Copies of this chain bind each other. A is one copy, B any other.
Amino acid sequence: MMGGMPRSIAPKGRTGRPPLTSRAQILEGARRLIDRDGWEKLTIRRLAAEIGVGATTLYHHIRSKDDLLLLLLNDYAERFERPELPDDPRERIVVTATAIHDALVAWPWAAEILTVDGFVGLLDESALWLVEGLLAGARDCGCDEEQAVHVFRSVWYYTVGEILVRAHSGHRRGGEGAVVTREPSFSGFDASRVPHLAAIGERWPELAARDTYVEGLRALVDGLLARTLPPGG
């Protein structure tokens, strides 16, 4: 109805109505929207408006919003600066995993798609080299293929969990709160039933807020490799 002219003349041999919109254009608009208004404002309708097309038109270029985010992830991964990898293969695993982690922290919108089915299979080569780096490190530590995949998956689970918990942190519920659901009270623990929790008490929020990702990662990797190497390794 209001659509302008087709952006470019139809390439020869192309039948059908010429597209007004391209996927690249959509990604560009999405990036712009995120940079300008924040990723929470990235909705299908806003994005369509930003580009100047109808909302449902986008679904001819992307499968779903999740797919859009996946596309975006691969897009950002391309610009991602690769960390320098140390010589020690175990340390390579840690550095690579940390690089993935830090990237995901920097792209909070990615949290919504970290768990999509077959995630690894949906990654571009611009992101896959990180997976490859993890596998390579594991193999260089003496793992066979199967063990290397196990290392990757364990590290991935740990990382996904940390990222997702982190992403939902700071959403304090309720304010002055209805009478409805009790407030989280760390001081009211029953010392006879949960003595350790009671002992920690109000210190919990502070302890839980600490960034211990790398620490836990190192422990995990050490534990994983210890089961692969001969005890003297």
Q: Which single member of B60, B160, B204, B218 contacts A121 (CB below 8 Å)?
A: B204
Please indicate the chain B residues that have their CB under 8 angstroms from the CB of A190 in the complex: 125
Copies assembled: 2
Q: Is A173 an interface residue (CB 8 A)?
A: yes
Q: Is A5 an interface residue (CB 8 A)?
A: no
A interface, by DSSP: helix, strand, loop or mixed?
Answer: helix
Q: Establish whether residues A204 and B120, one from each chain, have CB atoms under 8 Å apart when the complex forms.
A: yes
Please indicate the chain B residues that have their CB under 8 angstroms from the CB of A131 in the complex: 194, 197
Chain A, 197-230, contact with B by CB distance < 8 Å: what is the 0/1 string? 1011001110110001001101111111011000
Please indicate the chain B residues that have their CB under 8 angstroms from the CB of A167 in the complex: 115
Number of interface residues of A (CB under 8 A): 80
Q: Which single member of B173, B189, B223 contacts A223 (CB below 8 Å)?
A: B223
- Residue picked from A131, A161, A167, A207, most chain B C-beta under 10 Å: A161
Q: Establish whether residues B62 and A180, one from each chain, have CB atoms under 8 Å apart when the complex forms.
A: yes
Q: Is A61 an interface residue (CB 8 A)?
A: yes
Task: List the 8 closest pairs (A to B, CB-CB), nearest first.
Answer: A121-B184, A223-B223, A161-B161, A157-B161, A219-B223, A154-B216, A160-B161, A135-B196
Binding site for B on A (CB under 8 A): 60-63, 67, 70-71, 114-122, 125, 128-129, 131-132, 135-136, 139, 145-146, 148-150, 153-154, 156-162, 164-165, 167-174, 178, 180-181, 184-186, 189-190, 193-197, 199-200, 203-205, 207-208, 212, 215-216, 218-224, 226-227
